[in-house]
Structure 1
Amino acid sequence: MDVAWLARQIGDPSARGIAAALTDLIREGTVTAQTRLPTVRGLARELGVSSGTVAEAWSELRRHGMIRTDRRRGTVVLGPPDVPRPIRYERLGHWGDRLAIDLTIASPDTALLPPLEAALAAAAGAQGLNDYARETITPGLRAAVEPGWPFPARGWLAVGGGYEGVQLLCQTTALPGDRIAIEEPTGARLLDILERTGAQIIPVACDEHGPLPAALEQALRARPVAFVYQPRGQSPCGHAVTEERSAELAALLEPAKTLIVEDDGIGELSVSPMVSLGARFPDRTVLVRSYSKSHGPDLRIAVVGGAADAVERVRVLRSFGTGWTSRILQDTLAHLLGDAGVRERVAHAREVYARRRARLAAELAARGVRTGGRDGLALWVPVRDEPAALVTLAAHGISVAPGSRYVIGPAPRHHLRLATARLTDDPDELSALADVIALAATGGGRISPSP
């Protein structure tokens, strides 16, 4: 593209004006896909502005998926603006109708969920409904969750699921270009969320006990505005943070001002105790606890509790949209949490999920494929070659999630994530499944155990 021609199309040489002018040109088709744009310095010189002004405009266009920059071709137009997509979450693979066993999504077994009818009826009959007063959390739900919260929370909020809670916290904490530290590997949707905020992701390596102190220490040198991690039931690896590891992490976080976001994704289904950094840093820790997998995904409920200022920022942002979470759904969950029969049912589900996970892990270990972790609804399986393993499993009617979805960049080792919540309880069927997984993982050879 001729730099002088482009400069003449820009009436307002501010960063916003440059981005708006180019957006109009792309949207109307005057500038088409694959057009190579002028350099930042070249356009800045033609417009008589700083290179930083043009770079800011380019950043805005890049965030909306209209341009891409690479070293060989420079900055290239991709097309009109589009809605950002959760690429990792959507990259599950499509293998046709032959797949009979779906181990892709760690969704709960519906047979183990508590019935909702009585709780919904009780909540629907409560007083104070159909009021436009914006209630961040109902008194009943707060009374149900507060006694079991691992630290004294000064702010409370009910939101539409765990991922929404984490997304809103990151969105209200980080500005584009800010840095957020997060354990790696981690949830695919968490990485999608962080990329959507425009933040720079700083990976923190993990082992069986959670984030490694040395890795967190290095990440903190970049002065991240937030540290996001899963204290237990970690997806995809099944890590659970111990008291000793939490103390090591706390010593590193002590002098920092970083907001600590704890994602308790499976909540009461975890077999590990909750070890929270909020016990040491209640004024800058926020815990997001989801109840979707334990009490029902259609409730779409998670509770956010912790640092008052961080929770308040989320409340303010929500006031632009839904404003508050349905009081009927909040009090339905409160009723379930207070029901002794439901508590027994959730405890039973926790035992079943743990048994299914452990049995498959043992079957794979017997075949030379050793997995890690001790908690959660999935197994992190080391494989010799990820694409080949996916094809082998698909040929046998089995779908799993590629491990590359759960890391920020190229991983030194290949993995698959296998959801275990809905595994068969038939020993013969489980043995046959393990045979196929081991075949896909090893390719007929040996592989190193997962770190």
Structure 2
Amino acid sequence: MTIWMPELRGRAGPKYQAIVDAIVDALETGDLTPGTKLPPQRNLAYDLGVTLGTVTRAYQELERSGLARGEVGRGTFITAPADRIPAPSLNDNIDALRTSVDLVASPYNAMYGTDFMGSEGLELASNYPVTVGVGALTQRAIARVNHEAVWEAVSRYQAHNGLRPHLEASAEWLTGLGVNARAEDILIAPGAQAATQTALMALAKPGDLILAEALSWPGVKVTAAPLGLRVEGLAMDEHGLIPDAFEQACRERAPRLLYLLPTLQNPTASIMPEDRRHQIVEIARKHGVFVIEDDVYGFLVDDAPPRVHSIAPDVTVYVTSLSKAVSPGLRVGYVLVPQGLMASFVNALRSSTLMASPLAVEIASEMIRGGEADEMMAQQRREVESRQKELVRRLGHLDLRTHPRSLHAWLPVPQGFTGPEFRTRLLERGVSVTPGNAFVMDERHRPDRPHVRICLGAEQDRQRLDRALGIIAEVADATSHTAEPTYV
């Protein structure tokens, strides 16, 4: 029997993607059919003149898309029908996320000014906090750091997981949020994405499977891919991840980690109920799976259920940052590391980003000690509540999913539009929103209707935000029916 070989000549892009594209084309032409065995990875790498890692990544992408299945001791087999369209590749998801911003942004216009999107574009695509007033508060904190010894200390490379005063300030901040945090369990990273990357590097190895909600923060894919980690999405409902789907995946696919956004989930703004959090923890413990709890939006909600970390600190890596609560410019993130694993996390951080900027961490710590961080957080909550009221006033008659304290909302594309048509119509009016396909972790669980995410913080000026929401309402009302907003 002849083993099929892909033809890569004339194909643009990375080699691994060219292999994937060649297999998809062969499915469409019928050269490959369900059950066909693909060439062994080492043989294919040799025949194509590429590295083994390139072929491995291509096969992983095919498995993630549901187009192929690897069987230990037997090889990799085609599983999809010929007309199957694969899930968006990593590059597709990145491009989708960038497009909505890039089409409107005028680079370098008003450099370092508050009008990030230029004079015309109305920016509702990027999930930024409202930072009005943070400059004065930061300046006030910096003015108190007037000891030469402090500046000497933060001008050097740092040992281990950070300076003790910084760790103590971090613990103070987290404790104030209701998190059970000890200074010795904290690792300071340059932001939440770096914190997540550190957790992936410390706990997983190339080829391991990372689970996430079907719709989730695109950065988890961006972060996992260079590490050789696979990401699969799991079915979810209005309350977030469905425990039965998690249980089944643990039984069948032996995942290493679960990445979870249980509070003000991105992009749906849902809050996972307490009983479901307990169910997920029980499943994780049963199958030896670590949970990465991303809580960057948790500070916005006073009455959220107990954090997953508080339920099961032994299997939970808690990740948060000051980016949404205080200032994204500080790039300060926090990781609560399960006991016994700190050395692995420190090594992972040092091999990637080395350390968070000690100077930035000192400013952040002084803002925590002096109360400026609390002031900024309180202002953020008030501003988000006010902006949410305007959002609901403008768009509440649509099938909107949001929360009174959420920085973002999840809007189905109105009837009569495709997703690209709706976004194009908005862009023609100068408004950018995030395309919903950027958040799809797994094609098998794509929503029945296309969606967009609306972000309320990037436009610092309220009049510009109100104008953008009004434009969305006008475009949507041209074809849509009315419905009540859904608070989650």
**TM superposition score normalised by structure 1:** 0.76
Against the structure 1 CA distance between its residues 164 and 394, is the aligned structure 2 distance closer, same or farther, given a 3 Å change threshold? same
**Contact 2:309-2:316 at 8 Å conserved across structures:** yes
Tell me the residue number matched to 1:405. 438
- Say whether 1:106 aligns with 2:137: no
Tell whether 2:234 aligns with 1:201.
Answer: no
Matches within 5 A, 1:207-286: 207-221=237-251, 222-273=253-304, 275-286=306-317
One of 427, 449, 452 as aligned partner of 1:416: 452
Match for residue 141 of structure 1? 166
Counterpart amino acid of residue 95 in structure 1: L
1:117 is matched by which residue type in structure 2? Q
Q: 2:158–2:358: 8 Å Cα contact kept in structure 1?
A: no
Asked if 1:61 is matched to 2:92, the reply is no
Separation of aligned partners in 1, 2:285 and 2:353 = 36
- Sort the Cα spacing of 1:440 and 1:388 in 2 relative to 1 into closer, same or farther, 3 A: farther
Aligned to 1:15: none
Q: TM-score with structure 2 length normalisation?
A: 0.71
Contact 1:267 1:290 in 2 (8 A): no
Distance 2:351 2:376 in 1: 38
1:396 maps to: 429
Does residue 472 of structure 2 align to residue 437 of structure 1?
yes
Q: Answer whether contact 1:203 1:219 (CA < 8 A) is retained.
A: no
- 2:261 corresponds to which letter in structure 1? Q
Deviation at 1:375, TM superposition (A): 3.9
Matches within 5 A, 1:296-335: 296-320=327-351, 322-335=353-366
In structure 1, distance between residues paired with 2:464 and 2:362 = 43
State the SS of the aligned residue for 1:253: helix
Contact 2:42 2:52 in 1 (8 A): no
Q: Give a deviation string over 1:175-211, Cα, whole Å, max 9, x none.
A: 2321111112111222222333332222123344332
Deviation of 1:377 (Å): 1.1
Percent identity between matched residues is: 20
Q: Matched residue of 1:319: which SS?
A: helix
Comparing 393-402 with 109-118, greater Cα deviation is found at 109-118
Give how far 1:282 is off.
1.7
**Cα RMSD, aligned residues only:** 4.0
1:116 aligns with 2:138: yes
- Report the 3-state secondary structure (helix = DSSP H, G, I; strand = E; otherwise coil) of the residue aligned with 2:161: coil
Distance 1:60 1:298, change over 3 A: same
C-alpha deviation, 1:292, in angstroms: 1.4
Deviations 1:406-427 (A, max 9, x none): 1122442210011112457768
* 1-structure distance, mates of 2:460, 2:164: 40
1:240 partner amino acid: I
CA contact (8 A) 1:186 1:235 kept: yes
User: d(CA) in 2 for partners of 1:205 and 1:35?
Assistant: 27
Residues 361, 59 of structure 1: alpha-carbon distance in 2 compared, 3 angstrom cutoff: farther
Superposition deviation, residue 332 in structure 1: 1.5
Q: Which amino acid aligns with 2:481?
A: R
In 2, Cα distance between equivalents of 1:345 and 1:95: 31
Which consecutive residues of structure 2, in runs of 5 or more, have no partner in the other structure?
A: 13-17, 27-38, 68-77, 81-90, 107-118
Alpha-carbon displacement from aligned partner over 1:369-414 (angstroms, at most 9, x marks no partner): 3323454311111114211110110111111110110112244221
Identify if the C-alpha distance between structure 1 residues 428 and 255 changes in structure 2 by more than 3 Å, giving closer, same or farther. closer
The answer for unaligned runs of 5 or more in structure 1 is 4-21, 27-31, 40-49, 73-82
* CA distance in 1: counterparts of 2:92 and 2:269, whole angstroms: 29
Aligned AA (1:251): E
Q: Following TM superposition, by how much is the alpha carbon of 1:353 offset from its aligned partner in structure 2, in angstroms?
A: 1.3
| CA separation of 1:150 and 1:346: change in aligned 2, threshold 3 A | closer
Contact 1:152 1:282 survives alignment (8 Å) = no
